[in-house]
Amino acid sequence: MSFRDQIDFIRQHMKKNKLRVFMTVLAATMGCAFLIVLASVGFGLHKTMTDEMMSNQLLTEVRIFGREDGDSQITTADQQKMSELENVKAVVSRSYVDGVTSISMNDRTGQGDVQLTNLKEEEKANLALSEGEMPTKPNEIVIGYHFAQKLLTEAETELASQSEDEIPTGYTESMIGKTISLELTPLTEEKSDPKVWDFVVTGVAKEPAKDWMMDLRVLIDESYRTEFQEFTQPEVPAEESYFEVYVYADDIQHVGAITDTLKNDGYNVYSITEEMETMDLFFTALKAGLLFVGTIAVLISSIGIFNTMTISVTERTREIGVMKAIGANPKLIQRLFLIESTWIGVLGTIIAVTLSYGISYLANWIIPEIVMNIVAEEGMEDISVTISLIPWQLVAIASFISIGVAMISGWRPARKATKIDVIQALRQEL
């Protein structure tokens, strides 16, 4: 019997029992769809958490919080050694200005987060700008995205202090090319007279990823560190005033190795890879658990396939006897029933995959809308939620499980068909 004849033989039998076959396929579909949709929730939540972390952090960034001994400071020599590590693209160190700072521009004044940094290293680290360009001269600076909003006139300052509802817009024109004055007043009693430095704005940092974040930085080249330090606290060495150091890898795949190297050198470090490793471990266990629960549903649906194939063997006992009487090989008879059970599994899987994508689309459309309405009332609108995600790997795993279970379910009835006695089968009434 050719393969085409085998398919026609199976199709004719399935047409005779449309309702039973339909219910069996429906059971297989529901089991496989439940497996895919349930596991897709784990993949969706994993993607949501990963995207949230990536939007808040630079993936190639390794932050250094100091040394493990707690006593030693991170010096310029330490930073030089860090920059010489393999696959390190840039080392950025920042420090605050000791003293009281006040920033003004014409008739406007404001308070900014003044930081001293190596602007060349910042450029290597791909400091993102919304407009302008990176400084090329010592007296050129980069300001935060929201800094101009806090440059207020006296009238705007008074208005802000009198009413919480009236929020001044600050300076609304472009800051590129504008000159701002930094007034610095020492905290020591010996020196109380302020001193003023003028700087030209050449770049404005990119808007933070989250709406609630305010970027009021004023990034000044570290060449002013000694000058500021001698004016405010001449007794403190300038190279020991760093408050944070960042090491940037040339690629995300090298972040882990750089993090381990810095830890071995005695630094307290943090990188997003460490947090992602812990999170990946958790979600791997979660997805495995969801796959296990979904597999149980597939196993339950296999009972229907087993019953259908058992009844099919019983109903076709006389046909099997005739086939044996004319010399049909037992393996051929077994293959016919295995193909039938496999076809039920394949058809159920195809329908289940299509149905699962539809359910996933609806879940990602409807549920986030509900979540957004809830969190909007709490002032947390800036949240992106993926409820369900169906990668091709999940489809492959679910298909393998579903079709495999269908084949196993049909194997026992198929073996039973090969053992039917020919004489008893021919005596069976039609």
Q: Per residue of the chain (430 residues), what is the pLDDT tens digit?
A: 666 766 776 777 777 778 888 888 898 999 999 999 999 999 998 888 877 766 555 678 888 887 877 666 777 888 888 989 998 999 888 888 878 888 999 889 987 888 989 898 888 888 889 999 999 998 999 999 999 988 988 888 887 777 666 677 888 899 999 999 999 888 775 656 788 999 999 999 998 876 777 889 999 998 888 888 888 777 666 555 566 788 998 887 788 889 889 888 888 888 877 777 788 888 889 999 999 999 998 988 888 888 888 877 777 777 767 777 777 777 777 778 788 888 888 999 999 999 999 999 999 888 888 777 766 555 455 567 788 899 999 999 999 999 998 888 888 877 777 777 666 656 655 4
pLDDT attached to residue 349: 93
DSSP3 helix / strand / coil % (the chain, rounded to 5): 55, 15, 25
Query: Terminal CA-to-CA distance of the chain, rounded, Å?
Result: 23
pLDDT attached to residue 276: 77
| Axis crossing angle, helix 272-315 with helix 18-56, rounded to the nearest 10 | 180
Which residue carries 């063997």 as its tokens? 313
Q: How many residues does the chain have?
A: 430
Q: What is the dihedral of CA 399, 402, 404, 409, to 10 degrees?
A: -160
Per the CB < 8 A criterion, the answer to whether 417 and 314 are in contact is no
pLDDT attached to residue 330: 75
pLDDT attached to residue 178: 93
Tokens of 111: 């308070």
Exposed, middle or buried by CB within 10 Å (0-12, 13-18, 19+), for 192?
A: exposed
E runs forming strands in 259-393: 267-271
pLDDT attached to residue 430: 45
Which residue carries 């400091």 as its tokens? 127
pLDDT attached to residue 6: 66
Tokens of 367: 């549920």
Burial 150-184 (b: 16+ CB within 10 A, else e): bbbeeebeeeeeeeeeeebebbeeebeebebebeb
